[in-house]
Chain A
């Protein structure tokens, strides 16, 4: 696990954000959390983030919109999309946009960690590839 990696969590639900953040911090990752996609895009973290975990349904810009904006800006950071209401259409679009993973809420933080590690290319990881059902 590359220590010092920065993870950004974008979710309008405070408790989801905080709890995932707490978990990742407990394994030694640096976490920054944002309540809305717009806040994240305006922040300075956009340049330094190693992985983005975003909720799909948010008021204002949604998760896929955030993904598209990042790509438009030329930011190639891997994006993990999570949602409580997954639909085939959303899944397909996320895939076509090149999302790194698409997970259902309530998400098991262990699995999320596993995905993040896989994405961040931890050589010590030899488990199955990131989840993308």
Chain B
């Protein structure tokens, strides 16, 4: 029902309204009377002209009524004329007839025009009503004459409340009077910002346009104004400003270096050159001229104080060329390539460690974190954060060095404990060499020299010489202090060497050491000297544990097992007294059960094993004694490669 709105429906609506019905009724009555008067009365006057009144009466009802009533009036007039003067058509009556028709026609036309004008005005008024903006018309005394729906909404006063009041009082306007007067006097208009108060007391900021109304003589009679509410956008602007302020404060006072860069040109160069093929990073590394060119196009337009300090710059101007800090060192090429490649791949965040040179020529290690800011286009706003990690790296290197020194100290301590054995092991073959030498001479200088005996003596000299050399060789590695080195090691041979080193100790402890190998897949990559140090340490402890036992054989078993594809396990089992308390405690620094022990040996062992990506373990056996051992990966994982040493003390 609401959708249908043709002219027919409108007419229907009109007819059904009370006013319409009344008008219609009156029109009919009037028409009838006029007709009767025209047709029947002897009056000599253009009575039919009175039909114009009927037309005017029906005009408000709509176009159709105007035309309809006009036609009916014309018809009625014609009927009356013909009825009265048909015999004598020419003459005064004809003139009166024509005049009446013309009058009716004119009235119809005027009514239609009036209607049209009204419609236009009505539409214009509706437009004013529809406007969200406020439209207020005031007269010379600032009294409100017109107040649209927008004004109602904005100011909170209804039309009835506002019309007739003084505008500046009602709305508590704050206006720049002088400026307005000058502008109006100059060209009759003014536009600018004013502040007003709503009905509920809130302040409004408005963008206003005023136009002077003039009467036909050119005298100002009032003001038409239209205003748009700026409060929201003002608030948004203020918010945005304070947000920028906040960002600026954080940026400038941050404790880490932050720089804003424009990478648009640099990235354009990067993106231009690459074709399909290997990944961008390797492509960049193999085309350093592109990398250099792009680095030259890095522009730094803002840097905080921490950044200036970090790079030894006095002002941001010193740093404008990004190449200054990023491009100088050949070390920085991989980092640059990584960053450019990441950004080109569409990442908005990239982080990498590299070395930079400050403006004073200092080389520093820095972690660079690049972040693309959302309000820039094509990498024109990129935030670069830099963290100086030189000290951290130096501290790390120091720790590693300390670790090496500590491991060496452990070895030296071991050597000290083995010194007696070592000396003995070397002395024995030396003594034998002397003896065989003297024997040989005796055999040779006898009245009947015994050459076979001499030959035997000489053979024995050689073999004993080798024996001494072997002992020295076994020991030599332990004495050296070297940085950890990875080499391919046969674990079985390493264990046997360690057992040989302790042969005398084992004899002294009346212990037998057995070595069992299983599932060995091949050599292991590890540091030979350090791992042997660990095995010797474990064997010494096992020997010490079994020494005091009187009621059972002193047996030590070294089991070497390949575990899965990637690990090897070495476990030293003894038949001694076992470990009291929590077995894992033995790896803690300064834990010892020896009266003369310092307790560092096993904690050093743990450092060594964990530094190569392995794990130590200790447990008590089901029968007698304890098992202490370690697992090592066949190949040292890159992260564990002496990069995270444990601090023991």
| Alpha-carbon distance A18/B431, docked complex (angstroms) | 11
Residues of A within 8 A of B443 (CB): 22, 26
A13 to B431, CA, bound (A): 11
Nearest residue (CB) in B for A23 is: B439
**Chain B interface main SS type:** helix
Bits for A45-73, please: 1 = Cβ < 8 Å to B, else 0.
Answer: 00000000000010110000000000000
- Can you report 6 residue pairs joining A to B where beta carbons are below 8 Å apart? A12-B507, A18-B432, A19-B434, A19-B439, A108-B438, A109-B439
Residues of A within 8 A of B439 (CB): 19, 22-23, 25-26, 109
Q: Closest residue of chain B to A13, judged by CB?
A: B428
Q: Check if A59 sits within 8 Å of B435, measured CB to CB.
A: no
- Binary contact readout B434-445 vs A (1 if CB under 8 angstroms, 0 otherwise): 111011001100
Does B453 touch A at the CB level, under 8 Å?
yes
The residue from A18, A27, A106 contacting B427, defined by CB atoms under 8 A apart: A106
Asked if B510 is at the interface (CB within 8 A of a chain A CB), the reply is yes
Given contacts A12-B507, A15-B464, A85-B420, contact A23 B435 (CB under 8 A): yes
Chain B residues near A27 (CB-CB < 8 A): 442
A22 with B435: CB separation less than 8 A:
yes
B442 near A26: Cβ-Cβ < 8 Å: yes
For chain A, give the interface size range: 20 to 34
- Report the Cα distance A2→B435, complex, angstroms: 22
Which residue of chain B has its CB nearest to the CB of A20?
Answer: B435
A95 within 8 A of B: no
A84 touches B430 (CB 8 A): no
Contact of A106 among B431, B456, B467, B510 (CB under 8 A): B431
B508 at interface, CB cutoff 8 A? yes
C-alpha gap A18/B428 in the complex (Å): 12
Determine if B431 and A107 form an interchain contact, defined as CB atoms under 8 angstroms apart: yes
Determine how close the nearest CB of chain B comes to the CB of A44; give it in whole angstroms: 26
Q: Is B613 an interface residue (CB 8 A)?
A: no
With a 10 A CB-CB cut-off, give which of B433, B434, B510 has the most chain A CB atoms.
B434
Asked if B430 contacts A22 (CB within 8 A), the reply is: no
- Given A23-B438, A107-B431, A109-B434: A15 in contact with B467 (beta carbons within 8 A): yes
Q: How far is the CB of A26 from chain B (nearest CB, A)?
A: 4
Considering the chains assembled together, what is the distance between the CA atoms of A84 and B433 in angstroms? 15
Which of chain B's residues have a CB closer than 8 A to the CB of A13?
428, 432
Contacts A12-B507, A15-B431 aside, 5 further interface pairs with beta carbons under 8 A come to: A13-B428, A16-B431, A23-B438, A23-B439, A25-B453
Known: A16-B435, A59-B510, A109-B439. A22 touches B464 (CB 8 A): no
Q: Given the complex, which residues of A lie within 8 Å of B428, measured CB to CB? A: 13, 15-16, 84, 105-106
Q: Give the nearest-CB partner of A15 in chain B.
A: B432
Q: Which residues of A contact B (CB under 8 A)?
A: 12-13, 15-16, 18-20, 22-23, 25-27, 57, 59-60, 84-85, 105-110
Interface status of B446 (Cβ within 8 A of chain A): yes
Q: How far is the CA of A106 from the CA of B435 in the complex (A)?
A: 9
**Chain B proximity of A70: nearest CB distance (Å):** 23
Q: By the criterion CB–CB under 8 Å, are A15 and B434 in contact?
A: no
Q: How many angstroms between the C-alpha atoms of A105 and B433 in the bound complex?
A: 12
For B444, the closest partner residue in chain A by CB is A26
Q: How far is the CA of A48 from the CA of B508 in the complex (A)?
A: 31
Q: Are B510 and A19 in contact (CB under 8 A)?
A: no
- A110 near B432 with CB under 8 A, answer no
Q: Which residues of chain B have C-beta atoms less than 8 A from A26's C-beta? A: 439, 442-443, 446, 450, 453
Q: Are A19 and B460 in contact (CB under 8 A)?
A: yes
* Residue numbers in A under 8 Å from B432 (CB-CB): 13, 15-16, 18-19
B199 interfacial contact with A, CB 8 Å: no
| Min C-beta distance of A99 to chain B, whole Å | 20
**Residues A59 and B508 in contact, CB atoms below 8 Å apart:** yes
The listed residue (A22, A60, A85, A106) touching B457 by CB distance below 8 A is A22
* Chain A residues, Cβ within 8 Å of B453: 22, 25-26
Closest residue of A by beta carbon distance from B510: A59
Q: Please, which residue of chain A has its CB at the minimum distance from the CB of B433?
A: A19
Within the assembled complex, what's the spacing in Å between the Cα atoms of A48 and B432? 26
Q: Which residues of A contact B510 (CB under 8 A)?
A: 59-60
Selected from B423, B436, B446, B450, the residue in CB contact (under 8 A) with A19 is B436
Q: Which residues of chain B have C-beta atoms less than 8 A from A85's C-beta?
A: 420, 424
- Is B633 an interface residue when CB atoms closer than 8 A count as contact? no
**B436 surroundings in chain A (CB, below 8 A):** 19, 22-23
Within the complex, the shortest CB–CB distance from A123 to chain B, in Å, comes to: 22
B485-533 contacts to A, CB under 8 A, are 507-508, 510
Contact indicator B420/A19 (Cβ below 8 Å):
no
A56 to B96, CA, bound (A): 171
Q: Which residue of B lies closest to A12 (CB)?
A: B507
B322 at the interface (CB under 8 A from A): no
> CA separation between A125 and B467, bound complex, in Å?
37
Docked Cα-Cα span, A111 to B433, in Å, equals 15
Separation of A60 and B509 alpha carbons in the complex (Å) = 10
B460 touches A18 (CB 8 A): yes
User: A19 touching B442 by the CB < 8 A rule?
Assistant: no
The 8 closest A-B pairs by CB, nearest first: A106-B431, A19-B435, A26-B442, A15-B432, A23-B439, A22-B439, A19-B432, A26-B443
Nearest chain B CB to A133 CB, angstrom units: 18
Q: Are A15 and B460 in contact (CB under 8 A)?
A: yes
* Selected contact of B438 from candidates A18, A105, A109, CB within 8 Å: A109
Neighbouring A residues of B424 by C-beta, 8 Å: 84-85
CA distance A20 to B390 in the complex (A): 66
Centre residue among A22, A85, A106, A109 by max chain B CB count within 10 A: A22
A108 adjacent to B434 (CB under 8 Å): yes
